Amino acid sequence: MLSAKQHLLTALAAELEKLQSGAGARAAFESPKVAAHGDLACTAAMQLAKALQQNPRQLSETLRTALLATPAFERWVDAIDIAGPGFINIRLKDAAKQAVVHEVLQAADCFGQQPAKAGKVLVEFVSANPTGPLHVGHGRQAALGDAICNLLATQGEQVYREFYYNDAGVQIGTLATSTQLRAKGFKPGDAEWPEAAYNGDYIQDIANDFLAKKTVKSDDREFTGSGDVNDLDGMRLFAVAYLRHEQDLDLQAFDVKFDNYYLESSLYTSGKVDAAVQKLRDAGKTYEQDGALWLKSTDYGDDKDRVMRKGDGSYTYFVPDVAYHITKWERGFSRVVNIQGTDHHGTIARVRAGLQAANVGIPEGYPDYVLHTMVRVMRGGEEVKISKRAGSYVTLRDLIEWTSKDAVRFFLLSRKPDTEYIFDIDLALAQNNDNPVYYVQYAHARICSVLAAWREKDGGDTATLANADLSPLQSPQAHALMLALAKYPDMLTSAANDFAPHDVTFYLRDLASQYHSYYDAERILVDDPAVKQARLALVAATAQVLRNGLKVLGVSAPQKM
């Protein structure tokens, strides 16, 4: 069907171009809102009618006649109906719809993917401070980042995953002080315990291991504790390494991997922060006032100018962000996507302003941002707020241990990022159709069971299904399922362009629903060999697309449940 659709689109573009120069570039098909109206819809006549000073319905009739005379429409289209003020509804021939089954089976894992593109894309996500375990908000960001990377890869992008963490600043000093107090025997609630200190039990674990002179190793560092309770700097380095290791374990449990870990501290030690500030000064985009250095960010649409360097000589937090993004550009990443919490919304304008003011060739709108809200966790109808491990929040590993990696990923991706999400533990554990990940995975497992029964009884070979005669696929349920399969590539492209992995979850739920409806309507392992082969080919193609979509989300496709 994809090939047929492309031929039809080319024919439509040519006919539109005849009506008005440049109109062919806007040729497009839509899915009718009501399935009974047809398989494809076109609103081009209504869009052109005003410019051509014609009645839209009459223009639709003219376009209909012209289209039906083209070889592509003669081959693939059964009928064209005009509805309302000028909607063009197209009904495809059975062969056009059936072709998608062969296309899926022949492309297999590559179905829906686009050819490789030039250029590199960097996606920065999670980027948690090394001051505690990853919480469920980090989990949402990890799921989003990984799925967006996978989506971009399906569109031929060269994707690079990066984790940026703030290993400098006040919060790291607080971590070191909290660990030292624990090592000295103090605990939350004691008079000596500062209000700003970290209270989780994990701080005691860090202190105990430091005093025991243990060695901790993470993906990017290794450090051995000195055991000296007065070694605050050593305790700081040990605590950061310890928590980086803990975060590695969280990410491993979630099956998320990064290509690089970028340290905020390196921006200072390498002189990149000072260099970025100097670029802004040289460009004439800064000024001194009240003992501080300011950026003229209002020149770039910000609501007010921003302080870069405070009176005490320290930089505000957006300055290293500007330096960091200049390094992204210098490393050859022409496109950058940052996935962050909605609390970062205020930094977007000032970071982009700083990048424009630096005058290093970075285009406007760089980088792209995807902002997400936090996650509430419910269990037994009540909100869960406390983790024994973290002390004040539910960790990502808690959520995985309570449910599963698959459930956490699918659930956290099932809503738009900027929509508040409530993670229902009880629903994630339910084995019924109300649980969306179970519903989709069960559809895949159900197909695998059918194929396994066929192989066992008939000695069937799945590879032979790619050449099956599909003409027996005539029922409305079969047609609906094939049309759903054909939507997968366009859905991927749209989801990638919009950074919208939730579209993949919606699509998979719809595809699973179409399969369950088909399974309930038609027996697959029938006696007639030709009918059986055709139906097996259809469900095998459905399983393939379910697998491909779940892989984009980082969710498994079990063969048995």
Q: Is the distance from CB of 207 to CB of 199 less than 8 angstroms?
A: no
CA of 355: how far to CAs of 147, 352, 367, in Å? Answer: 27, 5, 9
Q: What is the pLDDT of residue 167?
A: 82
Please name the residues in contact with 237: beta carbons below 8 A apart, sequence gap of 6 or more.
Answer: 223
Please name the residues in contact with 346: beta carbons below 8 A apart, sequence gap of 6 or more.
Answer: none
Task: Quote the CA–CA distance of 203 and 135 in Å, as a whole number.
Answer: 16
Q: Is the distance from CB of 216 to CB of 241 less than 8 angstroms?
A: yes
Position of tokens 């960010």? 297
Please name the residues in contact with 96: beta carbons below 8 A apart, sequence gap of 6 or more.
Answer: 1, 4, 5, 76, 77
Task: Quote the CA–CA distance of 224 and 236 in Å, as a whole number.
Answer: 11
Strands (E), 103-252: 120-124, 158-165, 215-217, 222-224
Task: Quote the CA–CA distance of 351 and 275 in Å, as a whole number.
Answer: 16
- β partners of residue 159: 121
Reduced to 3 states (helix: H, G, I; strand: E, B; else coil), residue 480 is helix
Q: What is the pLDDT of residue 180?
A: 96
Position of tokens 């930094």? 347
Q: What is the pLDDT of residue 388?
A: 52
Q: What is the pLDDT of residue 133?
A: 84
Task: Quote the CA–CA distance of 535 and 177 in Å, as a whole number.
Answer: 66
Please name the residues in contact with 347: beta carbons below 8 A apart, sequence gap of 6 or more.
Answer: 317, 318, 321
Task: Judge residue 457's burial from the number of C-beta atoms within 10 Å of its C-beta, 0-12 exposed, 13-18 middle, 19 or more buried.
Answer: exposed
Helix axes 476-486, 529-553, angle to 10 degrees: 40
Percent helix, strand and coil across the chain, each to the nearest 5: 55, 15, 30
Q: What is the pLDDT of residue 338?
A: 97
Q: What is the pLDDT of residue 393?
A: 79
Reduced to 3 states (helix: H, G, I; strand: E, B; else coil), residue 174 is helix
Task: Quote the CA–CA distance of 365 and 353 in Å, as a whole number.
Answer: 9
Q: Is the distance from CB of 495 to CB of 503 less than 8 angstroms?
A: yes
Q: Is the distance from CB of 38 to CB of 81 less than 8 angstroms?
A: yes
Which H or E run contains 78? strand 77-83
DSSP type of residue 82: E
Which amino acid is present at 466? A
90 phi/psi in degrees, rounded to 5: -115, 130
The Cα angle at residue 279 between residues 277 and 284, in degrees rounded to 5: 100
Task: Judge residue 174's burial from the number of C-beta atoms within 10 Å of its C-beta, 0-12 exposed, 13-18 middle, 19 or more buried.
Answer: middle
Domains within the chain, CATH numbers bracketed = 2-92 (3.30.1360.70), 375-429 (no CATH), 433-553 (1.10.730.10)
Please name the residues in contact with 353: beta carbons below 8 A apart, sequence gap of 6 or more.
Answer: 295, 297, 299, 300, 301, 302, 306
Q: Is the distance from CB of 298 to CB of 329 less than 8 angstroms?
A: no
Please name the residues in contact with 155: beta carbons below 8 A apart, sequence gap of 6 or more.
Answer: 113, 114, 117, 492, 493, 496
**Residue length, the chain?**
561
Residues of the chain with pLDDT under 50: none
The closest of 50, 72, 69, 68 to 59, measured between CA atoms, is: 50
DSSP type of residue 294: E
Sign of the alpha-carbon dihedral angle for 389, 394, 399, 405: negative
Which H or E run contains 293? strand 292-295
Task: Quote the CA–CA distance of 88 and 145 in Å, as a whole number.
Answer: 39
Question: What pTM does this model have?
Answer: 0.90
Position of tokens 């002179």? 213
Task: Quote the CA–CA distance of 310 and 64 in Å, as a whole number.
Answer: 68
Reduced to 3 states (helix: H, G, I; strand: E, B; else coil), residue 420 is coil
Strands (E), 302-372: 306-309, 335-341, 368-372
Reduced to 3 states (helix: H, G, I; strand: E, B; else coil), residue 83 is strand
Q: What is the pLDDT of residue 171?
A: 86
Q: What is the pLDDT of residue 224?
A: 96
Q: What is the pLDDT of residue 460?
A: 86
127 phi/psi in degrees, rounded to 5: 40, 45
Task: Quote the CA–CA distance of 69 and 77 in Å, as a whole number.
Answer: 11
For β-strands 375-379 and 421-424, DSSP reports them as: parallel
Task: Quote the CA–CA distance of 208 and 462 in Å, as a whole number.
Answer: 57
